[in-house]
Amino acid sequence: MTEGDKCRHARRPLLYTPPASFGIPKRFCHNDRAVEPTLEKTDTAVTLSEEQLAVVRALYPWFKEEVFRRREQMMRLTAFGSAFLLLLLVTILALAPPWPMAPTVKVFAVTGTALFAALFVYLILQQRDRHRVAKRTLIELEQVLGLYEGGLYRVGRALYPTDWQTAWLHDRSTTVYVALIATLAILVIAAVVSKG
């Protein structure tokens, strides 16, 4: 029986090695000592009591929901902002009067469009930052629960793929959201400026 199998079949407090930076823990296992109400520190590991594991298990679904909520909020902001700018662009091109627009009106229109786009970009980036904080915390909770440790929940393999711990760092969806808002804002401004 491998060490992972022994850990998987044992029902004891979880031994967690916190990462030095934000990385993959080196060891998840259990030990035979009695449950203590506080963290017990060894050379590189911390023994979590049942109460502390209960807190981790309670926090896990909350942070998982928070990650999805922030992602959904970014998509909603992008959809609303881009829909409004697209509607504004169509309105300017199709329904604007044939005579030239006054310079004052152009200045107000361009300024308003730029401020609207800047506000939505700011809100999207704010949600992106909150999403990253929640995602980082979620992965740390998953590491504490041993979801990336081979043999703890499945024989010979981890419950979650190891690359999930770093895949979110290469996510480019925020760039797409911001680029879409910025492109539509530029098109609206160009349409306003071209009117006379």
Q: Which domain holds residue 131?
A: 3-194
Tens-digit pLDDT profile for residues 11-58: 444 444 444 444 333 333 344 333 333 334 444 445 667 777 788 888
Helix-helix angle 103-144:173-194, to 10 degrees: 180
Closest CA to 148 of 114, 140, 176, 77: 140
Tell me the C-alpha distance between 150 and 23, whole Å. 16
More confident residue, 20 or 144: 144
Q: Report the number of distinct structural domains present in the chain.
A: 1
DSSP secondary-structure letter at 149? Answer: S
pLDDT classification of 196: cutoffs 50, 70, 90: low
Q: In this predicted structure, which of 24-28, 126-130, 171-175 has the lowest mean pLDDT?
A: 24-28
pLDDT computed for residue 115 by the predictor: 97
The C-alpha atoms of residue 185 and residue 82 are separated, in whole angstroms, by 9
Q: 125, 111, 135, 110: which is closest to 77 by C-alpha?
A: 125
How confident is the prediction for the chain on average, in pLDDT? 78
Q: What is the spatial distance between Cα 170 and Cα 155, in angstroms, rounded to a whole number? A: 30
